[in-house]
A and B are shown apart, each in its own frame.
Chain A
């Protein structure tokens, strides 16, 4: 006899310029309220941390980054998370790469970035690698940066996903929050109690790639840093959004994508970016040293993985190298 299928509740919407999915399994009576709160939490992170909204906290702070600014708690949390990510990754995650993102052409909402612009790329200005560590000052309801403009894109998305998952957790047997390929799952999933997460092939053609692996997770964030979607051409060369703060240029030589599983989706996002920036030559050692559950795809399509991700690895297209 086939067991009765579990009930579920799902909501899809757009925020942070990306499709968002919230899903609850076996929802409790309070689930609609939890879903509504999760939606609001994501919108609030978006409206406070977007660099493409003139009325966001981030835009106000970036207009005068050396001054104190009144900010929402979501913005304070995103800045604090960025600082933590900066410290844990030895500076490889640095929100002060905004000038370089803009210099390379990512100066408007992603939907408006020209895929093949011919505008010249301005030379680099200040060498960011000489900067002191990223530090912000925090006071209740206020933040002051160190004088440099910042981008909170990846950190804010990870924070939004993690916040929404936390809000959903008490209201169902399990929940999933997915935003543009970054996700967090809580509680029981539909796959023998786990959540199966496909890792998209970053080298596939077309909009949606086949899977290179499937991970089975519970109470984890899963994020991928990849050049598959957010890359474009400028002045005759291919560039992407994963900027190495050491050089001010797109980084990750020899890698196509890095996926990280971590208890916190925001830190998963930070680590996937940091490991990507170590490049194909450095990623195995860096993931091993930091004990991060990571799976990566080289520019040649070869799969690599850290020991920590193997317990989550349900299936892979190819043999995975250490």
Chain B
């Protein structure tokens, strides 16, 4: 996925120097006509460099780094799962755990749908959960 993900960034890296070249021509013209052109040219040159460098294209080193981190995560998962189970056991040995609920309905939760006008789309099917962004 990493190499595929890099495609637009690589395209950007190719396009940015061309844009910078166009800019350089424009800037050379502008410096002769505008007292602030030099300052603006410097800022634009910096922006062009940033556009070229960011987002960064994926590299072999980055791909290797991801693989290394994923291996590290696999080891950490074992520790995390053990610690969670230990903490739960400790808590279970102390009185009072509340907040559990159970029942016979495994069905979906509700989700309100579109409006009631004549051209309204059909209502959404019921959903088990809603994704909304951080609350």
A residues sitting closer than 8 Å to B (CB atoms) are: 4-13, 18-19, 21, 23, 25-27, 32-33, 35-41, 43-44, 72-74, 76-77, 80-81, 83-84, 87-92, 110, 129-130, 133, 135, 138, 153-154, 157, 163, 166-167, 176, 178, 180-183, 185, 189-191, 195-200, 202, 208-211, 213-215, 222-230, 241, 246, 257, 259, 282, 285-286, 289-291, 314-315, 317-318
Contacts and interface: CB of A to CB of B under 8 A. Distances in A.
B63 to A, nearest CB: 8
B91 A36 contact: yes
7 contacts: A5-B104, A11-B101, A88-B1, A90-B58, A92-B55, A191-B125, A198-B124
A11 B99 contact: yes
Q: Is the interface of B mostly helix, strand, loop or mixed?
A: mixed
Contacts of B76: 73-74, 76-77, 80
B66 A88 contact: yes
Given A36-B91, A181-B135, 14 more contacts: A4-B104, A10-B102, A35-B100, A44-B84, A87-B65, A88-B2, A92-B55, A185-B128, A190-B107, A199-B130, A214-B111, A224-B131, A230-B135, A290-B1
A215 B127 CA distance: 8
Contacts of A80: 69, 72-73, 76
Contacts of B133: 181, 200, 202, 224-230, 257
Given A138-B72, A199-B130, A211-B127, A40 B91 contact: yes
B91 A181 contact: no
Interface string B1-20: 11011111100000000000
A172 to B, nearest CB: 10
Interface in B21-48: none
Given A37-B88, A129-B50, A318-B121, A90 B127 contact: no
Nearest to B51: A246
A89 B134 contact: no
Contacts of A77: 73, 76-77, 80
